Every structure is written in C-alpha cells, then in structure tokens.
Amino acid sequence: MIDLRTAKDILIKYGQEHILRGYDDLPEDGKASLLSQIERMDISVLDNLDKEKNSNYHRGAFTPLGAVTVDDIEKNHDEYFSEGIEAIRAGKVAAVMLAGGQGTRLGYDKPKGMFNIGVNRELFIFECLINNLMEVVEKAGAWVPLYIMTSEKNHDDTVEFFREKNYFGYDAEHIVFFVQDMAPSVDRNGKIYMEASDRISMSPNGNGGWFSSMVRAGLLDSIKEKGIEWLNVFAVDNVLQRIADPLFVGAVIRSGMESGGKVVSKAAPDERVGVLCLEDGVPSIVEYYEMTEEMRTLLTEDGELAYKYGVILNYLFRTDRLEEILDSNMPVHIVSKKIPYMDENGSFTVPDAPNGYKFETLVLDMVHLQKSCLPYEVIREKEFAPVKNATGVDSVDSARELLAANGIEL
C-alpha cells in the first residue's frame, strides 16, 4: 500500500489535500483504509473537469446506418441459427452481465437484479435473465460462460443472493463474478466529497470499464484458454433481454463485422434513446440530446426515419478486438447527481437535489472504437422491457405488462 507521503503527492497534484484533513485523528485501521482508497481510486478522471483537457470528447460528422431488419432475420433464420448455435456449442460465446449500477432511479437499495418483479409469486430480475439464458443452453446443449460485473457497493449482496437461490438452476461452475472500478465524486467546485473522515465518496465508474475491469480481475487468460471469441455484453435491467441469442450471434458472424448491437425501431422521432449510426465513417451511437431536429426527422427514400435504430444495451464484441482497444482513451462523461457527503460540521448529509458530479465511461462509446458494427433489429415488445423507474416510463409497471404479454407468469 502507498505511504502517507505518496498519498499527499497524488492529492496535491489534483488540489485534493482536504481528503487528509482528519487523517491524524484516525485510528490505525482508519488511516490504512483511507490510504488504500486513495491508492485504488481513479483520480485521473478529475482531469475531465478541465474543459481544455477534456478534448477527447468531441464529435465528428454523423451519417445514418441501416440495420439487418426483423424481415431479413426471418428470411435468413436457419442460416443464422445454425451459425450461431454452432459457435455457442463450441464454447466461443460468453455473456457479460452489467450489474454494477446503483439503480438510483428505481430507488431500491439492494442490487437491481434482486428486485422481485413478480406479483403473485417471486420472480427476481436476475431470475428472469437466467431463465432466458437457460433457453439457449438447452438449445445448444452446452453451458454459456456467464460473467457478472458487480461494484464494490453491491458485490457481496449479489454473490450471496445467487448462492442462496442456488444460481436459479444455472451451473455455478460457469458463473464468474468480478468487481468494477470506482471513481471519486466531487462537489460543484471539483473537490472530492468525503462520506466520513476515513471514507472517500466513490461510485462505480460507469459501464464502459467492464472489459478493463475483467482484465484487471485477471480473467483474460482463462477467456483465451477457453477459446471464447465473442462477448455478449448486456444490461441487468432489461427483463426480456435475450442473451447469447443464436440468431444475433449467427448474423454478426455471417456479416463478417467485428461487432454487433441489438436495436429497436424508434417509436417516435423524439424518443429518448441513443441511435446506432456512423460517425466519420465508423460506428457510433448518437445520444438523443445530441441529435439536431433535422437528424431526428430526416427520412429515407422509403419514408422511414433515417436515424431509426435505437440501442438497447446488448452488444456482441470480439475478444481479440477488445484487447486491441484496451488502452484506448474512452470519453469520460460528467454526470450531475445527488451525492451524500460529510458536511463542514462532520455530519453525514443526504441531499435532495443534485449537488455534484460523478464520472462515468459508457459501453456505448466502445462501439465507436470498432471498425464495423452490425445493427440487428429486434421486436421491442418481445425483447425490451427496461426497469429504470418505479412507475411510469420504463418502470416496474411497464416491465410487468411486457412480461405478461410474453406469457410469463407473474
């Protein structure tokens, strides 16, 4: 572990010496814990507060990108299926669940996957996802390796829950948990918040760090040894998520592209969803707030929206390509959030409005580091039921309706 002198040097460089204000009065274990947090946190994210240094986040010229449509997929069903199921059977495909988020909008204080979406029976979000993956396992006659990314905040609860539920029938030998990295949270003046004299306010650093966190967790060697060529990364909170979908895998392999993204047709031009398109000729996702009115309403010759295909956080990446881009700079997004902190008088305060910033990298920015990406259209009502909020849009209520419409007993 670093010593006090080194910790001071790091903090002085970033103007954050206040972190050590209470250090001298801490017991020995508190001192050690604080030094270890200083060592572990990615303090370099603070550079991004400086607009001039944050030059890695500039946008190029966007152009529309079509997709393999639901009709195309139906026509090529058998071909895609056999290609995909063969790859799965040969152990070339693994799944990566992103479950490190804090789910603040849902307002549930446990890991989101532990939420019971059932009505008359227990049906947990994690259970829905495992059930979906089991369908593929049964078709392939082979287990799909499943990696689950947690955060320091929810790791123990998540692992314990899976153990308690006997992995919902999945083979525990094929499940690997790993923890994502943390980044500090700051106030409006860029000063890192403290939660207590011996605790820095830190949060999971966004879902973009999943592959580097896997590598840091020492998983790359075994991924290579097992011959895993494709990683299907997906969000924990879409209860209709199809994981390691043989058709998707087959379509991407057949296309010869180095990645793929599941997309849904936008419900309306102004729907708040990121759209898979091209940026300076390479794949990219344009966020809804980055689109001009002209882009939003632009039509193709067939009268369809040109920027039509919204992403649902389900991507297929090649392992070797991910390794190549491991050291690439990912843009760091600065997000305004409510951050609990220790105030001037030493009391712990939970704000009721955003009071500072968190730093996150996003998986969607990884798409831009790929030379090619196949947009693969799925039917929204069958594959997209995100649980973001307690009520209203993308909520527990809407997800329950969609589950029921798909014949899932609640």
- Does the footprint of ligand UTP cover residue 232 (CB under 6 A)? no
- The CB-of-173 to ligand UTP minimum distance in angstroms stands at 23
Q: Nearest residue to ligand UTP, using CB?
A: 101
**With respect to ligand UTP, which residue has the nearer C-beta, 107 or 218?**
107
- Does the footprint of ligand UTP cover residue 84 (CB under 6 A)? no
Which string of x and - marks every residue 306-345 that binds ligand UTP (by CB under 6 A)?
----------------------------------------
Q: How far apart are CA 275 and CA 264, in angstroms?
A: 9
Alpha helix stretches (DSSP H) within 14-52: 28-40
Sort strands 230-235 and 93-98 into parallel, antiparallel or unpaired.
Answer: parallel
**Each residue of 255-280: b (16+ CB within 10 Å) or e?**
bebbbbbbbbbbeebeeebbbbbbbe
- The CB-of-230 to ligand UTP minimum distance in angstroms stands at 19
Contact 236, 175 (CB under 8 A): no
- The CB-of-299 to ligand UTP minimum distance in angstroms stands at 30
Residues 6+ apart with CB under 8 A from 386: 235, 237, 238, 312, 394, 399
**Interaction with ligand UTP in 147-206: which residues (CB under 6 A)?**
149, 180, 204-206
- The CB-of-348 to ligand UTP minimum distance in angstroms stands at 20
**Interaction with ligand UTP in 252-271: which residues (CB under 6 A)?**
none
**With respect to ligand UTP, which residue has the nearer C-beta, 139 or 337?**
337
- The CB-of-99 to ligand UTP minimum distance in angstroms stands at 5
**Interaction with ligand UTP in 351-410: which residues (CB under 6 A)?**
388
**With respect to ligand UTP, which residue has the nearer C-beta, 183 or 257?**
183
Q: How far apart are CA 239 and CA 359, in angstroms?
A: 27
- The CB-of-208 to ligand UTP minimum distance in angstroms stands at 8
First to last CA, the chain: 50
Type of residue numbered 312: I
By CB atoms closer than 10 A (0-12, 13-18, 19+), residue 322 is buried
Phi-psi region of 313 (alpha: psi -120 to 50; beta: other; left: phi over 0): left
- Does the footprint of ligand UTP cover residue 237 (CB under 6 A)? yes
- The CB-of-43 to ligand UTP minimum distance in angstroms stands at 17
**Interaction with ligand UTP in 85-114: which residues (CB under 6 A)?**
98-105, 112
Q: Which residues bind ligand UTP (CB under 6 A)?
A: 98-105, 112, 149, 180, 204-207, 235-237, 388
